[in-house]
Structure 1
Amino acid sequence: MDEREKLRKFRELDDAFAQALREMDGGSRPASSKPEAPAARPEFELRLHGLMDEYALSQGCVHTMLSTLLEFKKIV
C-alpha cells in the first residue's frame, strides 16, 4: 500500500471517529436533526474495527488519538 492510500485510509478513520463522536454527543444536537438509524452504529463499528485491524491499532491507541483530537479541538 502506497503512502497516498495510507493517507486516504487514515482520513476515512478520522472522519468515522468524528461522525461517531457527533452521534454520541446527544446534548448538543439541534432539535431538528433526526437520530441515525440503529443500523448505522453497527456499520460504523464494523468499519472502525476493519480499519483498526488493517493498521494494527489497539483500542488504547485509538483512545489516545481521540483524546488528543478532542484536547486540541480538532473534533467536537
Structure 2
Amino acid sequence: MKYQKVQKPVDEREKLRKFRELDDAFAEALRQLDDPESNFDIPTGPPVRSLAALEQEDVETQQKEQQQEQERMFRQRFEALLSEYGVDNFDLAELIETLLGCGLWQQDVVPGS
C-alpha cells in the first residue's frame, strides 16, 4: 500500500488572506500596465508571427535549400567535366583571362540571352 500524504485542512481565514494577496498583486500589475509613466519591465516571450509570415519564411527556406542544392549539383557537374576533359583550374583560369582579354567573352553576360 502506498503512503498517502494527508494534507492539513487550510483555515478559511488563511485561504481568504492568500486570495487577497493574489488579488492585490494582480490589481497592482494591471495598474502598472495602464500607467504610461511606468517603467515596469514585463517579461515577454518571442514576438508572435502571423501565419502568412511563417509560410513566407517556409517558402524562403525552401528556395534557399533549392538554390544550395542547384549550386552543389552545378559544382559537381562542372568538376566532372573538368576531369573528363583533363582541364585543371590553372588552365581554365588562363582560358577565361584570354577570352576576356580578347573581348570574346563578357564577364556579366549570360550566354544565350
- The TM-score range, normalised by the shorter chain, is 0.3 to 0.5
Structure (1 or 2) with the larger CA radius of gyration: 2
Q: TM-score, normalised by structure 1?
A: 0.45
Choose between structure 1 and 2: higher helix proportion: 1
What TM-score, normalized to structure 2?
0.32
